[in-house]
Structure 1
Amino acid sequence: MQTAGSAWTAGSARPAPAGAGGTLPEPPTPAVRRRTARGLLLVAVALLLAVAHQARPAPYGDRLVLHARGEHPQDTPLPSRPPLRTTGATVEAYDAATGRARWTYARQGHRPLAVLPARGDAIALWGDGLVTDTTRRDGSAVRRHRALPGTARWLADHEAAGVLRLLGDGMLAVITPERVAVYRVADGDLRWILPARPGCRFAPARAVRHGAVLLIARPCPAEDRWTAGLVAVDDLGVVAPHRAPLGNGQRGERHGAEPPRPGKVVAPPR
């Protein structure tokens, strides 16, 4: 029999450590082992989902990078309307005093053709026919994406001259050969659409502003009347005598005594 101070000899068995009260701990039951395995599996699945979410590409290929955060003292407000420019494959807001970029916005595989400042918005037209609206002050978010179907080939040939035009009361006109679509800048709401007449096509690069009215060239080879080659629009739609506005009745969109029409409106070709 071993004494308390004696050493264990080779091959002798050590006693298992005793649990509380000097008794050996009981092994986990099969039910406990199953619950533990399920818990570990759930944790592993959650980690895999988190990694997959981080690796998922951003919608529309968006890549928005903030550069100027932390460069301004806390008590110095950022300018609300920094200048904008396109630089290669990005839209960029920059500091007018230093020329340094404040934020840049890119879309993977696409390049911006034009950028249009509109109060707190940076509206850009891209080569694949997408129109985007980025928060202009700090570039914190891309708020909207609007597609122009079937325009990518035309944009590749004609670039973007005249496609983006601001109208009165915070309206954005997007002019393509087939149609004029007008959106409200504040929320991106589509207000009205004017299709080109059969046999005619709008020419965005040949649009000029006259006061609150935008005159858009609309060549019509089959028409002899010179008036068929020109259309006048403003934020309410086609300018014509005794017209009813094409807006959907929001405040500030009434024109004269005519009541506004409800809903989004497609204007008949004129």
Structure 2
Amino acid sequence: MSWKSRALSPRSILPALAVLLVLVAGAAAHANKPVPFGDRVAARSATDPSTDPTATLDAADLDLRVGPGLEAYHRATGEHAWSYQREGATALHLEMAGENAVVVWDDGLVTSVRPGDQQVRWHRAVPGLADWLRGAGEPGADKRTEEQRKQQATERASAALRTVQQSTPWVAVVTPQLTMGFRDADGDLRYNSKPAGNCVYDPERTVATDYAVLVPRSCANSTGQQVSGGISGYRLDSTGWQLNAGPGVTMKALDGRRVLISDGPIVTPRVFDTWAAAPEAACGSAAEPFAAVPPAGGCAVPDADSPQAR
């Protein structure tokens, strides 16, 4: 059998050329594909004192700041270490969850970043967060200056983001219409809760301890008059709880587990232990000998001449 060489005709070349063009176009499109969420992580600068530019940094040695993205600086030298930004978004506030930095952005996205190796770990969008940060639809919102809008967004981002450190670190995001909890290890949504009826959550009065997040809610009746609300307590390692409270209740963290709850001039302030998920007994109260949570540090022994000792 003999073989004869045959020249390719223009007609036979066209299909192969078309396939090649499609492959080239596909490769170019892939190369120019937008980065998910607009993530941009810049390597450390050339003036960085580190001898190995690929070395993992210790998060404790970094000073983290926000604006316009997440910026990291060496604590010892003040040198810029790295920068993480998102195209079209501005970082407003950060909190640490364990060894990770959690950032709230003005477009309503929440991001967890591992500072040591600049790894973006997860993104989560919180419905309604961006609108609340901007004050969209609120009275007088259109009359605020750009500086006032930025200030409001920054303050609200600080109120919305809470982190809990003990057991498994987790992240709470609170808005008036929704609160959500994410496990920081993987960004898994662990709960989401909307206030019932004519109630709204109050991020500005929310308090976090090492074990829980306490979110107060304000409620109104059909005429718009403020009525008794309550406090919702959230944990990831156990069930949460509900506390009765008036519309003007305030809370203050006393330490990593206890919160002082003040509920107006008539009701005596009380201390709630978020680790035991129970109120702390007041010194001298009838319930003190039987309390699940005795007063922290015990109670002082009354003076012999005091009315309590008589």
- Same-fold status (TM-score > 0.5): yes
Match of 1:164 among 156, 161, 168: 161
Greater RCO, CA 8 A, separation 6+? 1
- Residue 239 (1) aligns with residue 241 (2): yes
| Identity %, equivalent residues | 31
> Which aligned pairs between 1:1-270 and structure 2 lie closer than 5 A?
28-30=6-8, 38-67=15-44, 71-74=49-52, 78-81=57-60, 82-87=62-67, 89-139=68-118, 141-157=119-135, 158-159=152-153, 160-167=157-164, 168=166, 169-210=168-209, 212-222=211-221, 224-225=227-228, 228-235=229-236, 236-239=238-241
* Distance (Å, rounded) in 1 between the aligned partners of 2:178 and 2:13: 63
Question: Closer, same or farther in 2 for the Cα pair 1:119/1:35, shift >3 Å?
Answer: farther
* Distance (Å, rounded) in 2 between the aligned partners of 1:45 and 1:213: 55
Unaligned runs of 5+ in 2: 136-151, 244-275, 278-310
RMSD value, Cα? 3.0
* Distance (Å, rounded) in 2 between the aligned partners of 1:76 and 1:107: 24
Residue deviations 1:80-135 (CA, integer Å, cap 9, x gap):
44331112x21112211222222212222221111122234221111111111223
Contact 1:219/1:230, CA 8 A, preserved across alignment: no
Contact 1:115/1:123, CA 8 A, preserved across alignment: yes
Residue deviations 1:58-91 (CA, integer Å, cap 9, x gap):
222222212258852349752144331112x211
* Distance (Å, rounded) in 1 between the aligned partners of 2:242 and 2:128: 30
Aligned-pair CA distance for 1:238: 2.3
Residue deviations 1:21-77 (CA, integer Å, cap 9, x gap):
xxxxx874347x666554444333322222222222222222221225885234975
TM-score by length of 1: 0.67
Question: Closer, same or farther in 2 for the Cα pair 1:83/1:117, shift >3 Å?
Answer: farther
* Distance (Å, rounded) in 2 between the aligned partners of 1:27 and 1:103: 61
TM-score by length of 2: 0.60
Aligned residues: 213
Greater Rg over alpha carbons, structure: 1
Q: Give secondary structure in 2 for the equivalent of 1:97.
A: coil
Contact 2:162/2:208, CA 8 A, preserved across alignment: no
Contact 2:161/2:174, CA 8 A, preserved across alignment: yes
